[in-house]
A and B are shown apart, each in its own frame.
Chain A
Amino acid sequence: MSTSISDAYVSFQEVQKSYDGENLVVKDLNLGVERGEFMTMLGPSGSGKTTCLMMLAGFETATSGEIMLDGTGINNVPPWKRDIGIVFQNYALFPHMTVRENLAYPLEVRKVPKNEITDRVEKALGMVQLSGFAGRRPGQLSGGQQQRVAVARALVFEPKLVLMDEPLGALDKQLREQMQYEIKHIHENLGVTVVYVTHDQSEALTMSNRVCVFDDGVVQQVAPPDVLYEQPQNAFVAQFIGENNTFLGTVRESQADRCVVELGTGEVLKALTVNVDGVGSQTTLSLRPERVTINPEAGSCDNQVQGDVKELIYLGDHIRARLELCGNDQFIVKVPNAANHSHLREGESVSVGWLSEDCRALDAPN
């Protein structure tokens, strides 16, 4: 992050939240969102991400700490004065109003002149490709169309910030992917700041400028998607995002950015030091399946072990192989389905290898 959190467009400063006065659902949150950024809050359910969104929207109050928007504290500003557009999980389109009336509603309550309302509603509908549907009621639209209306309604009054609370959760897979791109394009075209909540990691990676991973009320890592995937800072992030092979072991040696780890089964592996307490501490080794090579040329990998092929699953472009090695019978390797590649058979024993820089030594589970 180039600027400090307090200078950001949206900022949470030491924010805590408790519903019952005993348990904290959000613990000491510090987070900044830049103007024009698409920030996704990602985490399992109950991790506190939706609570953060609700505090930003003004439907929950922070127990302590300060939430700032565009340079002013908004802790005591009621929701209807915040100028924040929200796309709700189940859209919350008013069923007794037509699409046009739904879109005109935020403009009417702001006393925008009549002819300007007509223009802006038309423009917003055009943006989501629903120009012909202005006279329909939400009940007469499909799920995807309702979703678009909800997005248009959250944008039509040109809010300072748009919040989206798992907006694609109710759609089927194909439609969800299509909507991901549409929302991304709208964001790029309008340059509006978006805070997006989801528990779907692929959605987060597809759409965001930066992703903020939540667990147990604590931010685990804030980073752009590629960094998050390739350089997870702790075992939770590595496990939560993408597929991941793990080993538990103890650090035996540590030199510069590399370390030597002894596994419970006695094997010794070399790894990149990321998040360990030093020699003698427990660590989780994390390795992406696509970084593993089958039958590597001698000397090309600084980690090389023997494994038994347990199961092969044909997936078209690649073959997913489950191996048992170093006491882990859930070790996954992705073998590209390429002409020159070696073919595996179930039950055979193969040599696998990987680079120590792809194997990240992270914090141990507690």
Chain B
Amino acid sequence: MYQSNYRGWLGRLWHWVFLSLCSLIFLLLIGPLLVIIPLSFNADSYFTFSEGMLRLDPEAFSLKWYREILHTPNRPGSHGSEWASAAWTSLYIGICATLIATALGTVAAIGLSRPEMPYRRIIMAFLISPMIVPIIITAAGIFAYYSKYHLAYTDLGIILAHAVLGTPFVIIAVTATLTGFDTQYLRASYSLGARPIKTFARVVLPLTFPGIMTGALFAFVTSLDEIVVVIFLASEEQITLPRLIWSGIRQEITLTILAVATIMVTLSVLILISVELLRRRTERYLAPQSANRA
């Protein structure tokens, strides 16, 4: 298992067995996502590769399910495509929830990172709990309680619920950057003549920005993917993207859903890349010397 230049036949055999095992596991991880991408270009409406597709016949591929996304009729009373309007609803709710979660979460994370913070452990545990509490309990509680204050069936209700589900990610991401933050930077900035406000704007904020962005992206993706709270809390008219996919899967799964899924996978890859870049940036900032060595 452990790599060594000197290997007997047993070692070599095991090495290859191990590598093939790992490849299989990676196939399990990624495979399902890879399968839906070519299928979404199917010219037929079956959930399987047609013979034409296997022969790579251009005729067997088409963009018709992508066109379908744009032309699925909307509910009566609204115009445009059903998918497009659901995407807008999701985007609107996601952005609002992310803004709330990021603002509150960042300030709280700064407070939590101060050495003087009292009861840090228990408060931190409490603030992270929305991530841990089973979503069905959260959704049920929020539905029953928000109904009393006329927040059920409103955008505001969903936004508040999604914001609270997103805050743990912001806290975790921002605290991670702040624990690596060296107070020497503050002192250096003061000694060079920058007042606290200027220091915050020019030193603290740029250095913690990757963490804040990572947290915000997580919060945004959480909201964009959230379905359980929406099922409980949303009215007939509030249709988000996950809700449309959900009802699609439960009623009749079509290749349009695969086309949407493919778009979402592409989006995930883009977000993943940006998070990875942000992570590298943090690493470079927080450990300038070790980055130099690597």
Contacts and interface: CB of A to CB of B under 8 A. Distances in A.
A binds B: yes
Given A110-B193, A157-B193, A138 B288 contact: yes
B284 A153 contact: no
Contact of A92 (B184, B198, B291): B184
13 contacts: A58-B190, A58-B191, A80-B199, A83-B193, A84-B191, A86-B187, A93-B288, A96-B285, A105-B194, A106-B194, A109-B192, A137-B288, A157-B192
B286 interface: yes
Interface string A135-152: 001111111001000000
A106 B285 CA distance: 20
A138 B185 CA distance: 13
When A and B form their complex, which 5 residue pairs have the shortest distance between CB atoms, in order from nearest? A106-B192, A92-B188, A79-B190, A92-B184, A139-B288
Interface in B199-217: 199, 202-203, 206-207
Given A79-B191, A82-B191, A86-B187, 11 more contacts: A59-B190, A89-B184, A92-B188, A94-B189, A95-B284, A96-B285, A105-B189, A109-B193, A137-B284, A139-B292, A157-B193
B64 to A, nearest CB: 48
B103 to A, nearest CB: 22
A96 B193 contact: no
B182 interface: yes
Given A88-B184, A140-B292, A95 B191 contact: no
Secondary structure at the B interface, as helix, strand, loop or mixed, is helix
Interface in A32-58: 57-58
A82 B253 CA distance: 70
Contact of B188 (A94, A96, A140, A142): A94
Interface in A293-315: none
B191 A80 contact: yes
Nearest to A163: B191
Interface residues of A, number: 35
B195 A80 contact: yes
Nearest to B294: A139
Contacts of A137: 284, 288
A140 B189 CA distance: 21
A278 interface: no
A17 B195 CA distance: 25
B278 to A, nearest CB: 13
Contacts of A65: none
A298 to B, nearest CB: 61
B126 to A, nearest CB: 32
A38 B191 CA distance: 20
A105 B191 CA distance: 11
A75 interface: no
Contact of B284 (A59, A79, A139): A139
Interface in A81-136: 81-86, 88-90, 92-96, 105-106, 109-110
A142 B194 CA distance: 27
Given A109-B198, A157-B192, A95 B184 contact: no
Given A105-B202, A139-B284, A143-B289, A94 B191 contact: no
A139 B191 contact: no
Contacts of A82: 191
Nearest to B207: A96
Contact of B193 (A80, A90, A95, A146): A80
B206 A96 contact: yes
B286 A95 contact: yes
B212 to A, nearest CB: 14
A78 interface: yes
A80 B185 CA distance: 13
Contacts of B289: 139, 143, 146
A92 B184 CA distance: 6
Interface string A225-264: 0000000000000000000000000000000000000000
Contacts of A142: 292
A82 B202 CA distance: 20
B185 A92 contact: yes
B203 to A, nearest CB: 6
A143 B292 CA distance: 9
Contact of A139 (B193, B199, B202, B291): B291
Given A95-B286, A95-B288, A86 B188 contact: yes
